[in-house]
A and B are shown apart, each in its own frame.
Chain A
Amino acid sequence: MLFALVLGHAAGAVGVFGAARHLRRGVWLVGAVAPLTVVVWLVANAGRIADGQAITARVEWVAALGLAVDLRVDAFAALMIVLVSGIGVLVYAYAWHYFGTSPKAARAAGLLTLFAGAMLGVVVADNLLALYLFWELTSVTSYLLIGLDDAEAESRSAAQHALLVTGLGGLVMLAGLVLLGQQAGTYRISELVAGPPSGMLTSVALVLVLVGAFTKSAQYPFHSWLPGAMVAPTPISAYLHSAAMVKAGVYLIARLAPAFADAGVWRPLVVTVGLVTMLAGGLRALRPFDLKQLLAFGTISQLGFLVVLFGIGRPAATAAGCAVILAHGIFKAALFMVVGIIDHETHTRHIRLLPTLGPGWGPTRLAGLISAASMAAIPPLAGFVAKEQAYGALVDGSASDRVVLAGLVAGSVLTVTYSARFACALVRPNLVSDVVVDRPQAHDWPTRGFVAPAVVLAGASLLLGVAPMLWSGLIDHAAQALDPRAHAHLELWHGVSRPLLLSLATLAAGLALFAARRPVAAVQARLAPPLSGLQVYDAAVRGLLRGAARLTGVVQPGSLPVYVGVILVTAAAAPTVALLAGDWWSGWPGSPGRAAHVPIAILLVVGAVATTLARRRFVAVVLLGVVGYAMSVLFVVQGAPDLALTQFGVETLFVVVFLLVLRKLPDRFDRSDTRPGQALRLGVAALVGAFAVTMALATSGSRTAEPVSRQMSELAYPQGHGRNVVNVILVDIRGLDTLGEITVLVAAALGIVALARAGMSPRRRPDRGSETVADERAGR
């Protein structure tokens, strides 16, 4: 069933892509079927999961390697599914209105469905490698989603940015996952967490895995892709930033932290990175005038908050993290939806340009204000309940916990401030704009259906805040699934406690900072770092491209003698070193030649020497042919008719093909080479010759095992049904080799034609050749 749920997304996407023309707006309905099914399934199985049971499924993949795909839904995975699929369904409903009849709708719907499926896969995978697979699928699908508007250069570069950063992080993570799996002796996440390995290698593995998680969850210093990703259509941003993609990194940290937080580098690293991200993201969110950008930096800050809570790896903090991750998903999705509605109806989301939101905008504004208040943790909203948990988890801790708590409070103060900015922009944009303008009333207002998903989410923020018992159980079970010692009991009113006082102090400080926003902005402008993350990324990519171009210039000079020289010297030198290092001399080969060998040997030597002395290319080719034919005579004498036939045929064709090429070359060899150049060529030739002789002597005398050819001769008839052993070897015993070789032949044929045509000017192109691949490649 679990597999069907995940694969259902793929099927839904296929349905959307396949029937897009007939479905029109219905693509969103078809796409929503899969996530909706997941939600229904989750509700139906909620009882079992709440009992602490995990629902598992397993498919053997490569049994011989012990590879299997395990899926597992415990209470924490269920919490994530609420986000991924629950919010996912609302995003579909929202997108139905947002995209309207846009021609991009089908693509967006299909990709969104694939993306939701990949994200579902990440949270239900119980195998490190399966998790990695789904993880990369989210990277790829998010790349396509961010770049949905592929006519815009900005979209494309933002999509590429996201893909490069998260993809690179994913690769680093893969190394870590493999190390971790090897250390633990299992790739099952549930077994890994139950019996975590330790030691130096484990620490290295964890750091690598964390790099992957940090890039995915946009932690400093890998954050810069996330603000760029907001060029995507808003429904996609809403999903990406609230429920999916960025939560994947947090999810992985949450899964591993209870087992690994006490080991070595984990806690200092994760908590530091999380705190830096929370503070830096919060500070950056105070500056932008683009509402979506403001929210994007807010997301970075909140992700830092989550990383700290889960990264600490103690029961209380883990429980708080579970509460915050749900509260954040709900209010952040609603906030993005509100910005999207404003952008859609007024064609701007810029604080400087926002019109006055007049009649008809009430529900939108209310949803935005409630969600912003939940983000600022104002009672009685879900965000407040969750933040109380976070404060409560740390307030009674050790000295280092107090430091972390101080950081969280500072970050929360910033959260209050940028939440206030956002809320103010909805009501009185002039208050938070740097230019005061006369703002006319907006002409249009959104339909009820368009606002409904945001209102539902805002209602959820309110309901979960007023009635915490509704989700207290879910959070409690989810936390216990991560850490059996964890317990959560969510309440709106704990009495006058230190967490409450801290919350009030945070609110007061945040509002004070908001009141002082103009001096703060002036200070920020002066202290702004000289380099933004985006500039660092751009410089890195530019440097990489430039370095690659320079390296290519060095290793691909385009000189045939250099290529041939490098190949020959490598082929000769590397085995020679190995030869000399070993005990290579085993005496002269035993069997002397026969009388018939003498004339053949003379012919071979004379032909070879004469080739080097030839002044005309044509003569050299013919002399080379003499060497080849002499070789085939040698094969005849040695009793190898197949070899002789083949050598004879190859030699004949070789001469003809050579002549074809010679027509395009000067008649005579270029003899203008300098003396050092000649000496170098002579040296290379001597080295290769010496190597060939030494190798032949060494190999003929070093046989230790019984020749495999004897077995082959015995097998040829009973198994290969043939009396010609050479042919049976080619087509049966070593048939796969032959298959590979003929594939190479085909590739070589392609290469020859492409090369030959590359040298021609299009004007002289023969008409007959218009069907070849070289032309197709050139797009003609």
Chain B
Amino acid sequence: MRLRSLILDTTVHLVFDVALVLSVYLLFAGHNQPGGGFVGGLVAAAAISLRYIAGGLDDILVVGRVRPWTFLSAGLALAAGSALWPLAAGGPPLDQRAAEWSAPLLGEVKFTTATVFDTGVYLIVVGLVLMIFEGLGGEEGRA
């Protein structure tokens, strides 16, 4: 059993949630401001790696009840699906559609199909990092 530092644990828990929110913000803001699925995914991954440093592999695998493989496949399915669905509508692949409407509290909301694609990218980056931790970060690997 590893020694756990209370201060590190508490800080990481705080930072982890904030970083995850930030990553989702980056994902959705990315179309108009700096950010995007890849950057968002990286930030989420960095948050996960913090958790790993503080609590080891068990910590991140418990947090993410979803398997890394599910992240990867869901991400690829989302991205490929959003890239290909315009074909069904007779358009070229990756054809973008946008819709704008006003929502209570949020004001004007604009949604583009590119966000779906970007979400796929986000999920894949997160899945990849989880996969790396699971593959290389197990206890038995510690020297």
Main secondary structure of the interface of B (DSSP, over half): helix
Q: Does A595 contact B (CB under 8 A)?
A: no
Interface-side segment among A55-63, A153-161, A237-245, A654-662: A654-662
Distance of A632 from chain B, by nearest CB (Å): 12
Query: What separation, in Å, do the CA atoms of A753 and B138 have in the docked complex?
Result: 12
13 new A-B contacts, CB < 8 A, other than A645-B42, A653-B129, A735-B117, are A642-B39, A645-B39, A652-B46, A653-B42, A720-B112, A724-B35, A726-B34, A728-B31, A735-B93, A735-B94, A746-B124, A760-B140, A773-B69
Q: A660 with B46: in contact, given A724-B32, A730-B36, A773-B69 (CB under 8 Å)?
A: no
Q: Does A689 contact B (CB under 8 A)?
A: no
Within 8 A of A (CB), among B101-139: 110, 112, 114, 117-118, 120-121, 124-125, 127-129, 131-138
Q: Report A723-756 CB contacts with B as 1/0, cut-off 8 Å.
A: 1101110111001101100110110110011011
**Which residue on chain A has the smallest CB distance to residue B100?**
A721
**Which residue on chain B has the smallest CB distance to residue A652?**
B46
Interface-side segment among A367-375, A386-394, A544-552, A761-769: A761-769
Q: Name A722's contact: one of B31, B132, B138 (CB within 8 Å).
A: B31
Q: Does A641 contact B (CB under 8 A)?
A: yes
Count class of interface residues, chain A: 35 or more
**Which residue on chain B has the smallest CB distance to residue A723?**
B32
**Which residues of B sit under 8 angstroms from A660, Cβ to Cβ?**
132-133, 136-137, 141
Q: Name B36's contact: one of A726, A735, A745, A771 (CB within 8 Å).
A: A726
Does the CB pair B132–A752 fall under 8 Å?
yes
List of 5 A-B pairs having minimum Cβ-Cβ separation, nearest first: A649-B42, A756-B135, A722-B31, A721-B98, A641-B34
Does the CB pair A656–B69 fall under 8 Å?
no
Q: Does A646 contact B (CB under 8 A)?
A: yes
**Which residues of A sit under 8 angstroms from B24, Cβ to Cβ?**
none
The number of residues on chain B lying at the interface, defined by a beta carbon within 8 Å of a beta carbon of chain A, is: 57
**Which residues of A sit under 8 angstroms from B31, Cβ to Cβ?**
721-724, 727-728, 731
Does the CB pair A771–B69 fall under 8 Å?
yes
Q: Does A709 contact B (CB under 8 A)?
A: no
**Which residues of A sit under 8 angstroms from B127, Cβ to Cβ?**
746, 749
Does the CB pair B140–A766 fall under 8 Å?
yes
**Which residues of B sit under 8 angstroms from A721, Cβ to Cβ?**
31, 96, 98, 110, 112, 114
Q: A749 with B136: in contact, given A727-B118, A736-B94 (CB under 8 Å)?
A: no
Q: Report B24-66 CB contacts with A as 1/0, cut-off 8 Å.
A: 0010001111111111001101100100110000000100000
Distance of A416 from chain B, by nearest CB (Å): 64
**Which residues of A sit under 8 angstroms from B69, Cβ to Cβ?**
771-773
Query: What separation, in Å, do the CA atoms of A526 and B45 have in the docked complex?
Result: 77
Show the binding face of A for B, using Cβ within 8 Å. 641-642, 645-646, 649-650, 652-653, 656-657, 660-661, 663-664, 719-724, 726-728, 730-732, 735-736, 738-739, 742-743, 745-746, 748-749, 752-753, 755-757, 760, 764, 766, 768-769, 771-773
Q: Can you list 9 A-B contacts (CB < 8 A)? A: A652-B49, A731-B37, A732-B96, A736-B93, A745-B124, A753-B135, A766-B138, A766-B140, A768-B134
Q: Does B76 contact A (CB under 8 A)?
A: yes
Q: Does B80 contact A (CB under 8 A)?
A: yes
**Which residues of B sit under 8 angstroms from A760, Cβ to Cβ?**
140
Query: What separation, in Å, do the CA atoms of A44 and B24 have in the docked complex?
Result: 69
Q: A720 with B141: in contact, given A727-B35, A739-B83, A749-B132 (CB under 8 Å)?
A: no
Does the CB pair B138–A724 fall under 8 Å?
no
Q: Does B142 contact A (CB under 8 A)?
A: yes
**Which residue on chain B has the smallest CB distance to residue A753?**
B135
Q: Does B72 contact A (CB under 8 A)?
A: yes
Does the CB pair B46–A642 fall under 8 Å?
no
Distance of A752 from chain B, by nearest CB (Å): 5
Query: What separation, in Å, do the CA atoms of A742 and B133 have in the docked complex?
Result: 19
Within 8 A of A (CB), among B77-94: 79-80, 83, 93-94
Distance of B35 from chain A, by nearest CB (Å): 7
**Which residues of A sit under 8 angstroms from B135, Cβ to Cβ?**
752-753, 755-757
**Which residue on chain A has the smallest CB distance to residue B50?**
A656
Query: What separation, in Å, do the CA atoms of A387 and B56 have in the docked complex?
Result: 85
Query: What separation, in Å, do the CA atoms of A738 and B98 have in the docked complex?
Result: 20
**Which residues of A sit under 8 angstroms from B72, Cβ to Cβ?**
746, 749
Distance of B48 from chain A, by nearest CB (Å): 9
**Which residues of A sit under 8 angstroms from B132, Cβ to Cβ?**
657, 660, 749, 752
Q: Name B136's contact: one of A653, A746, A756, A772 (CB within 8 Å).
A: A756
Q: A727 with B30: in contact, given A660-B133, A742-B76 (CB under 8 Å)?
A: yes
Does the CB pair A742–B124 fall under 8 Å?
yes
**Which residues of B sit under 8 angstroms from A724, Cβ to Cβ?**
30-36
**Which residues of B sit under 8 angstroms from A769, Cβ to Cβ?**
134
Query: What separation, in Å, do the CA atoms of A726 and B114 have in the docked complex?
Result: 13
Q: A745 with B125: in contact, given A721-B110, A723-B32, A724-B33 (CB under 8 Å)?
A: yes
Query: What separation, in Å, do the CA atoms of A738 and B42 have in the docked complex?
Result: 16
Q: Report B16-28 CB contacts with A as 1/0, cut-off 8 Å.
A: 0000000000100
**Which residues of A sit under 8 angstroms from B112, Cβ to Cβ?**
720-722
Does the CB pair A764–B134 fall under 8 Å?
no
Does the CB pair A656–B49 fall under 8 Å?
yes
Does the CB pair A663–B141 fall under 8 Å?
yes
Q: A646 with B38: in contact, given A732-B96, A739-B80 (CB under 8 Å)?
A: yes
Query: What separation, in Å, do the CA atoms of A645 and B25 have in the docked complex?
Result: 14
Q: Name A736's contact: one of B26, B49, B83, B125 (CB within 8 Å).
A: B83
**Which residues of B sit under 8 angstroms from A661, Cβ to Cβ?**
136
Does the CB pair A749–B128 fall under 8 Å?
yes
Does the CB pair B114–A732 fall under 8 Å?
yes
Q: Name B128's contact: one of A736, A748, A756, A771 (CB within 8 Å).
A: A748
Interface centre among A641, A726, A746 (most CB of B within 10 A): A746
**Which residues of A sit under 8 angstroms from B94, Cβ to Cβ?**
731-732, 735-736, 739
Distance of B139 from chain A, by nearest CB (Å): 8
Query: What separation, in Å, do the CA atoms of A495 and B41 have in the docked complex?
Result: 92
Query: What separation, in Å, do the CA atoms of A738 and B68 have in the docked complex?
Result: 20
Does the CB pair A642–B128 fall under 8 Å?
no
Interface centre among B76, B80, B138 (most CB of A within 10 A): B138
